A = this chain, B = another copy of it.
Amino acid sequence: MDEDGWTADLAREALPADLVRLGIGDDAAWLAAVPDGWVVATDVLIDGVHGVVADVGAAALAAKAVHVNVSDFAAMGARPRALLVGLVLPRDDTASCLEGVRAGLRAACREHHLALVGGDTNVAEGPLVIAVTMLGTPGPGGLVTRTGARVGDRVSVTGPLGGSLGGRHLAPRSRVEAGEVLARSGRVHAMMDVSDGVARDLPRLCRASGVGSLIDLERVPVHADVPEAAPDRPMRALCDGEDFELLVAHAPWDDDTLAALARLDATPIEIGVVTEAAEGLVLVRAGVPQAWPRGGFDHLASVP
C-alpha cells in the first residue's frame, strides 16, 4: 500500500461525476464551471471526540465524516457532489484504520453519489483524524442562509430530536432532498442543521438574522432514542446534539411543500416563533418562562 494508491482506488470506485474535469492523482483537482458557482464546507472528525473507533469501528467514523458534511449542504438547500479527505492514521493501528476508513468512505460516497477528488494521507502518534471538505452546487431553489429570519416567522424542525448519541449520530438520515424542497418552497427565510443541539444552534441562527425567538418546550418533538427514564425528555431533545435535522424560520407552509416533505418523512414540526432581537431567546414550559439552557458543546469553551 502506498499513499497514492488507496485514494486512486477509491476514486475509481466512486460514481463518475460529470462535474469533475480532472480527478484525483495530480497536484490538484479541477472542477467544471457551473452557472451558480460552487458551495464548500469542511468538518473534522476525531476518534474519541465524535465517536470511539474501538466501539464503532473506523468505517463508521469515516462515514459520519461524510454525513455531517452532507448535512451542512442540506442545511442550505445545496447538493453535495465531490469531496476531499485529509487523514491522520494512528501509528499503532495504521492498516486496520485505513481499511475501515476506506470502507466507510466508499459506502458513504455511494449513498450520496459523491466523487473523491483529493486526499492526503499521514501517519502520526495520536487518534484517527478524518478531515472532509465537501464541494457541491446550489440546488434548484438556490441557497438558504441563516440570516433571513423575520419577526413573526414560525420556527420548525424536520424531525424528532435527542438521544442520537445512542447510535443515530453515526448515520443520520440525509436531509438533502428535504433541504431542496424547503429552499424551493419560497417559504423558508433561514435554515441550518441541528448539529450541536437546538439550544445552541438556534441562538446562532437568531444572531445571524438579528432576531429573537420564543420556543415552547412542550412542542419540541422528542425522539424515541431519548430513554423513557430520562428525567426531562423535552430538555434532552432541545439540548442533545448531532440530530442533523433541519431547523427553519419560515412563513406558513403551502400544501404542496407539506406533501413533498411528508413523502420524505420530513414533515415539519413547529416549536416556536421568531421575535424581536430585544426579546432575546425565551423558552416556555406550560406557559412559564424558563432560563435558556446552556446546552450543546463548544470545543473552545475552556479557552479564555
Contacts and interface: CB of A to CB of B under 8 A. Distances in A.
Contacts of A36: 33
Given A122-B46, A122-B49, A124-B127, A78 B299 contact: no
A2 B49 CA distance: 17
Given A38-B31, A143-B30, A299-B122, A86 B44 contact: yes
A87 interface: yes
Nearest to A117: B40
A39 B208 CA distance: 30
Nearest to A190: B26
A86 B43 contact: yes
Contacts of A4: 204
Interface residues of A, number: 78
Given A123-B300, A129-B88, A302-B94, A28 B3 contact: no
Interface stretch (A104-112, A131-139, A216-224, A261-269): A131-139
Contacts of A127: 124-126
Contacts of A304: 1, 95
7 contacts: A30-B40, A31-B38, A31-B40, A40-B117, A42-B86, A43-B120, A46-B124
Interface of A: 1-6, 21-22, 25-44, 46, 48-49, 72-73, 75-76, 78, 84-89, 94-95, 98, 117-127, 129, 131, 133-136, 138, 143, 145-147, 192-193, 204, 208, 298-304
